Amino acid sequence: MHRIKGTMDGAMYHQILDLKHLNLYTPRRVGPFMAVDSTNNILVSFRCHGPPIRFTSVRFSELRYVANEIDRIQATLVVIHTANLQKLDPENSMFYSNWFCLQIDTVLRAMFKGLSVKMLDAWEMTLAHHLPHDLYPPQAIIKNMVNVILSYICPAGKI
């Protein structure tokens, strides 16, 4: 079984993969959400991660650290989604800058250097694409990200 757990990235991957979505009757912004592809043995789940989060309408009792959940799964491949560029309109520019995001991205890469994790280079993927930048990239970019993740899970010659 291939499990893809994630925060909003996991939720976006639901939209791209051809999966059967299970209705768990959970809050839209918190999850958990779950979708399956029985033919290819794929399970994608999403749950709001622990702080920091950008919204405040989540009860503390609903938060779960994804790290605690993957610790329980044997032979886990961890893929870190790096920062990506965001549109800088007047509203977002007051609280966000790509320069600050680049600094955080540099620290993130240094923190995980030498560990057994894969990096999904969202920064380069959004920078190189002709579509506009956004906190949640357009579907074409998300599809490319899913393809990279699947190449980590099922590398060529291993099928």
Listed residue (80, 75, 85, 83) closest to 130, CA to CA = 85
Q: What are phi and psi of 143, to 5 degrees?
A: -60, -40
Residues 157, 87 share a domain: yes
Put the strands of the sheet holding 2-6 in their side by side order. Answer: 2-6, 42-46, 33-37, 20-22
Residues 59, 3 share a domain: yes
Residues 32, 15 share a domain: yes
Q: How far is CA 36 from the centre of its chain?
A: 17
Residues 159, 84 share a domain: yes
Residues 85, 72 share a domain: no
User: Tokens 């599809």 map to which residue?
Assistant: 143
Instruction: Looking at 87-121, list the stretches that DSSP marks H as alpha helix, in order from N- to C-terminal side.
Output: 90-93, 98-112
Is 82 or 68 the better-scoring residue by pLDDT? Answer: 82
Residues 154, 109 share a domain: yes
Residues 69, 38 share a domain: yes
Q: Residue 10: which pLDDT band, with cuts at 50, 70 and 90?
A: low
The mean pLDDT value for 39-55 works out to 69
Residues 60, 12 share a domain: yes
Give the three-state DSSP class for 16.
helix
Of 31, 56, 76, which marks where a domain is finished? 76
Residues 85, 65 share a domain: no
The answer to whether residue 127 scores a pLDDT higher than 80 is yes
Q: How confident is the prediction for the chain on average, in pLDDT?
A: 78
The mean pLDDT value for 123-148 works out to 86
Enclosing domain of residue 2: 1-76
- Look at 4-18, 63-77, 78-92, 132-146 and tell me which has the smallest mean pLDDT: 4-18
Element (DSSP H or E) covering residue 27:
none
